[in-house]
Amino acid sequence: MDSIINYLESHLLQCPTKKMIGIDCLGCGLQRSFILLIKGDIMASLIMYPALIPLLVMLGYLIAHLFLNLKNGAKTLQFFYILNSILIIANYIIKF
């Protein structure tokens, strides 16, 4: 697991928005937050990018809905989409 973490830390993608314009984009912090989550530091991951865990839960739910055709899957995914959008925009405003 350490080799995976080291690989991810040494191959982070640069944000083109930050590189060209000099300001953070809505996704800045996502990679570092994911690495912190893999390391087991959940609180630091939430502070870095609060929408990561709900995004991962939404992705898991989406996959389950696609294969199992869950009864209220579309409504639940709508809820997750709105929640994640609010978290991402609020995080961006706070960082800005």
Composition of the chain by helix, strand, coil, percent to 5 = 75, 0, 25
pLDDT band at 84 (very low <50, low <70, confident <90, very high): very high
Place of tokens 């055709």: 69
Domain count along the chain: 1
State whether the Cα torsion 68-73-77-83 is positive or negative: negative
- Tell me the C-alpha distance between 60 and 54, whole Å: 10
- pLDDT given at position 2: 84
Decide: 70 and 89 in contact? Cβ < 8 Å: no
What token pair was written down for 86?
């609010």
The backbone torsions φ and ψ at residue 28, rounded to the nearest 5 degrees and listed phi first, read -60, 130
Q: Which residue range is the domain that position 26 belongs to? A: 2-95
The predicted-structure confidence for 45-59, as pLDDT tens digits, reads as follows 999 999 999 999 999
Query: Stretch 15-21: mean pLDDT, rounded?
Result: 90
